[in-house]
Amino acid sequence: MTSFPDYVSCIRLLLRYSTPSNVISHSIQTAQTALRVAERIKAQNYLISCDFILAGALLHDIGRCKSHRIDHGIIGARLLRKENLPEEVARIAENHLFAGIAKHEAIKLGLPFQDYLPVTLEEKIITYADNVSKKEPLLSIDEVIDRYSKYLTQSHPILKRVRLLHLEIEALLNNK
């Protein structure tokens, strides 16, 4: 069984890399949202690792210590791998942007040619939480789409993926 870093270890790592305080605050809020979502879905007998959710959500934006551009996910994954953290946590940093980026989209965005797509339920929960946790109360899907429309055209496939991810998680949350 994989061992994930706890809350204090994650915060220490963020501080060691001089992650900006607003990014740490956002990461804490993302972790709180992701854990609330995970607990509700887990209560429906889904197998979810809350330790993984906590570590992944707290460390998803660690790459912002060096960049606030789209490459922060790749930078963060590199840092987490250098720290010998579980690969699952590095994948969160790498794949949390929007609702994932397909390899053909990655090239157009200046990223290395590979898929950056959340696959596991934990990855999807953290990505969803990152999207909606920009302020309190949580953002609606329309607010998330509006926010990302500043960077992408309304017809961009990434925006469709954001909406589909939101609908997938919301369906799990509303399935009682």
Task: Kindly list the domain boundaries of the chain, sorted by start residue.
Answer: 7-174
Provide the H-helix boundaries in the chain: 7-16, 21-42, 50-59, 72-82, 87-95, 103-108, 121-132, 141-148, 157-174
* CA 9 – CA 13 distance, rounded (Å): 6
Distances (CA, A) of 73 to 99, 120, 126, 136, 154: 12, 17, 13, 24, 23
pLDDT in tens, the chain (176 residues): 679 999 999 999 999 999 999 999 999 999 999 999 999 999 999 999 999 999 999 999 999 999 999 999 999 999 999 999 999 999 999 999 999 999 999 998 899 999 999 999 999 999 999 999 977 778 889 999 998 888 888 888 999 999 999 999 999 998 85
**DSSP tag of 98:** B
Do residues 59 and 27 lie in contact, with contact meaning Cβ atoms separated by under 8 Å?
Answer: yes
The encoded tokens of residue 75 equal 């930078």
Beta carbons within 10 angstroms of residue 87's beta carbon? 12
Task: Write down the pLDDT at residue 1.
Answer: 65
Say what the pLDDT of residue 150 is: 86
Q: Does domain 7-174 have CATH number 1.20.1440?
A: no
pTM above 0.85, yes or no: yes
Measure Cα distances from 128 to 26, 144, 166 in Å.
13, 10, 6
Output the pLDDT for position 176: 53
Q: 3-state SS of 113-154?
A: CCCECCCCHHHHHHHHHHHHCCCCCCCCHHHHHHHHCCCCCC
